[in-house]
């Protein structure tokens, strides 16, 4: 369908093409100079000194929790309202995610519920800055200090977000992880980055992403268990060009969000993403609305598709995935706020370069399905 409006699309331009091509022609396709160059540029942009670029956000989360000291049998308090890998990474190390409910406004982990979920075997907490809205880190940090827990921040959706005290998300001195899949605020194709609190942690992460080699060791010297979580130089080249234009990419997303905010405010019963409050500043990653209770969300997805508009149930509750139900015995009703939001939330097309005309078409389609649902979609 030529006038199909997709959910997401990266914005890459001439500079990206040029840098990737230069890198391709250089013959240094991995472990070349682009890696350090990208890490430095990215660190400068987020206000963090110790950056390790890795092959995905998931790989970054895995290395971050290992560096935090997670052990098999540990329990880790985290949110059920997230992309599945923030919980899966714990399973890679034999730890158990202990879910708790979310704040109905921000959709981030509820700090009170998180504190209450800390038990005898809890060693850490893994909050997620969901949909680019900063999680309440001061409250979570206080609990972590009191209870002697480690903290890893999943900032995969929140590049460019800022906490009320002015710290950019990911720069508070906790291990933090970003992701660069093509739907993210900036992309390297696949890719991610871990922010370490100090140089020793970065050395460990750099080693583990590279098969357990020390920085100065030869190709077949390995002094610890490692993985191949490297980010290649072509991806880094793409990332260098994207970091350079990140302010523009973020501004473009904010422009599209403002269009939707204004036009969708009139649709009765529709809940829009929460506005910034208390000094916290969202970085726009996705535009997710919550449909009125009476609307069948899955039917709404089909109705939008018929109108040429892509959309996605986003996000399902992690604890209700069949794999999590079977393995941990989770069931409906455990986390009512999360489950209600997960049942009604719908991601709309959202990307830099989305035109006014496309936004109007999306809004019109949403208005049709939300205000006057046809009988077959009720
Ligand atoms: C909250 C969250 N955590 C982790 C990830 C994993 O990142 P990746 O897809 O790069 O592995 C994503 C990205 O999809 C995400 O949105």
Ligand 1 atom nearest 128 alpha carbon: 1
Beta strands (DSSP E) in 131-191 are 150-154, 175-179
Residue 85 contacts by C-beta under 8 Å, 6 or more apart in sequence?
Answer: 57, 58, 61
Q: pLDDT class for 375, splitting at 50, 70, 90?
A: low
186 versus 2: the higher-pLDDT residue is: 186
pLDDT for 297 beyond 50: yes
Give the pLDDT of residue 378: 47
Q: For the whole model, what pTM was predicted?
A: 0.97
For residue 191, report the distance from its CA to the centre of ligand 1, in Å: 10
Q: What confidence score (pLDDT) does residue 267 get?
A: 92
Identify which has the larger pLDDT, 152 or 216.
152
Give the mean pLDDT of the chain. Answer: 96
Domains of the chain: 14-100+107-244 (3.40.640.10), 246-377 (3.90.1150.10)
pLDDT band for 216, please (50, 70, 90 cuts). Answer: confident
Substitution site in 156, 170, 286 for ligand 1 pocket (most atoms within 8 Å of beta carbon): 156
Residue 152 above 50 pLDDT? yes
- DSSP assignment of 9-20 equals -----HHHHHHH
Quick: pLDDT tens for 308-349.
999 999 999 999 999 999 999 999 999 999 999 999 999 999
Q: What is the pLDDT of residue 215?
A: 78
Quick one: average pLDDT of 174-190? 98
Query: How many C-beta atoms surround the C-beta of residue 67 within 10 A?
Result: 21
pLDDT for 372 equals 58
Q: Residue 345: in which H helix or E strand, if any?
A: strand 345-348
Average pLDDT over residues 20-46: 97
374 pLDDT more than 90: no
Ligand 1, residue 183: give the atom nearest the CA: 14
pLDDT in tens, 94-125: 999 999 999 999 999 999 999 999 999 999 99
Residue 51 in this model has a pLDDT that exceeds 80: yes
> Rounded to 5 degrees, what are φ and ψ at 305?
-60, -45
Confidence tier at 373 by pLDDT (50, 70, 90): low
Higher pLDDT, 266 or 145: 145
For tokens 């002015």, name the residue.
Answer: 166
Look at residues 305, 308, 313, 311 and name the one whose alpha carbon lies nearest to residue 342. 313
Which tens digit of pLDDT belongs to each residue from 240-269? Answer: 999 999 999 999 999 999 999 999 999 999
Q: Is 371 a residue whose pLDDT tops 90?
A: no
Ligand 1, residue 190: give the atom nearest the CA: 10
Instruction: Tell which atom from ligand 1 comes closest to the C-alpha of 285.
Output: 16
Residues with CB under 6 Å of ligand 1 are 56-58, 82-83, 85-86, 128, 154, 156-157, 179, 181, 192
- In this predicted structure, the answer to whether residue 377 has a pLDDT above a threshold of 70 is no
What is the average per-residue pLDDT within 216-222?
A: 76
SS3 content of the chain, % helix, strand, coil (to 5): 40, 15, 45
CA of 375: how far to CAs of 136, 144, 271, 371, 378, in Å? 42, 50, 22, 12, 5
Mutate to test the pocket of ligand 1, among 7, 53, 57, 92 (most ligand atoms within 8 A of CB): 57
């Amino acid at each position: 369908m030529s006038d199909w409006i997709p959910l997401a699309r990266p914005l890459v331009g001439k500079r990206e093409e040029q840098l990737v091509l230069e890198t391709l022609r250089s013959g240094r396709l991995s472990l070349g100079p682009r890696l350090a160059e990208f890490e430095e540029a990215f660190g400068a942009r987020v206000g963090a000194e110790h950056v390790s670029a890795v092959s995905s956000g998931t790989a970054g989360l895995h290395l971050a929790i290992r560096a935090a000291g997670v052990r098999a049998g540990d329990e880790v308090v985290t949110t059920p309202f997230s992309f599945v890998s923030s919980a899966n990474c714990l399973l890679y190390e034999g730890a158990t995610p202990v879910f708790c409910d979310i704040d109905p406004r921000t959709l981030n982990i509820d700090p009170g519920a998180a504190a209450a979920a800390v038990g005898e075997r809890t060693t850490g907490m893994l909050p997620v800055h969901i949909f680019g809205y900063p999680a309440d880190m001061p409250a979570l940090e206080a609990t972590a200090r009191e209870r002697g827990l480690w903290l890893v921040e999943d900032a995969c959706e929140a590049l460019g977000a800022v906490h009320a005290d002015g710290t950019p998300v990911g720069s508070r001195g906790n291990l933090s992880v970003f992701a660069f899949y093509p739907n993210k605020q900036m992309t390297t194709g696949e890719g991610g980055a871990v922010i370490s609190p100090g140089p020793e942690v970065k050395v460990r992460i750099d080693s583990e992403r590279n098969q357990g080699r020390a920085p100065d060791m030869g190709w077949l010297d390995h002094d610890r268990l490692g993985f191949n979580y490297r980010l290649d130089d072509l991806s880094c080249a793409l990332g260098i060009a994207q970091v350079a234009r990140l302010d523009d990419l973020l501004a473009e997303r904010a422009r599209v969000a403002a269009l939707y905010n204004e036009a969708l405010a009139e649709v009765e019963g529709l809940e829009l993403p929460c506005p910034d409050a208390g000094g916290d500043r969202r970085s726009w990653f996705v535009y997710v609305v919550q449909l009125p209770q009476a609307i069948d969300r899955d039917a709404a997805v089909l109705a939008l598709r018929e109108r040429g508009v892509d959309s996605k149930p986003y996000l399902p509750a992690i604890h209700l995935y069949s794999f999590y139900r079977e393995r941990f015995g989770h069931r409906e009703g455990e986390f009512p706020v999360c489950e209600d939001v997960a049942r009604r939330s719908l991601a709309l097309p959202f990307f830099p370069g989305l035109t006014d005309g496309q936004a109007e078409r999306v809004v019109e389609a949403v208005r049709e399905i939300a205000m006057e649902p046809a009988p077959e979609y009720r």
